[in-house]
Amino acid sequence: MTREEDREKSGAPGEESRAPRGEALPREALVAVRNVPDEQTATMLRDFLRDQGIEATVVAVQIPWLSTVESLLHGYWGRIEVLGRDAERARSLLDDFFAATPERGEEEP
């Protein structure tokens, strides 16, 4: 038995498995829902989606030490990816996020 097979049978410690013991979890493709200009924006949007119950990840297109070259080539720093089943909702949430305008707080004296 290989390590992979052993790991699939036993499951990782501390993790709940959604598949019956001994069966692999189904794989689902990640889908890009938005290109982002920089790492800070990517992190903010990933955290926003996670707060909304959508598991998201950041994928950089840059190459370390050549970050500006790749960003210029692609036109963006990276992208936000989610599971395929969450893509439509994630796009809608991100569209609403960018369409929103900040509310003005009370004026300071």
Q: Can you give the CATH number for the domain in which 78 is found?
A: 3.30.70
pLDDT at residue 71 tops 80: no
Using one digit for the tens of pLDDT, what is the confidence trace for 16-69?
445 567 677 678 899 999 999 989 999 999 999 999 999 999 998 877 666 666
Q: Supply the pTM of this predicted model.
A: 0.66
Domain that holds residue 34: 27-99
Does residue 6 form part of some domain? no
Does residue 69 form part of some domain? yes
Count how many domains the chain has: 1
Does residue 92 form part of some domain? yes
Does residue 59 form part of some domain? yes
DSSP 37: S
Q: Which helix (H) or strand (E) segment is 7 a member of?
A: helix 3-10
Does residue 11 form part of some domain? no
> What are the residues whose beta carbons fall under 8 Å from the beta carbon of 100, sequence distance 6 or more?
none
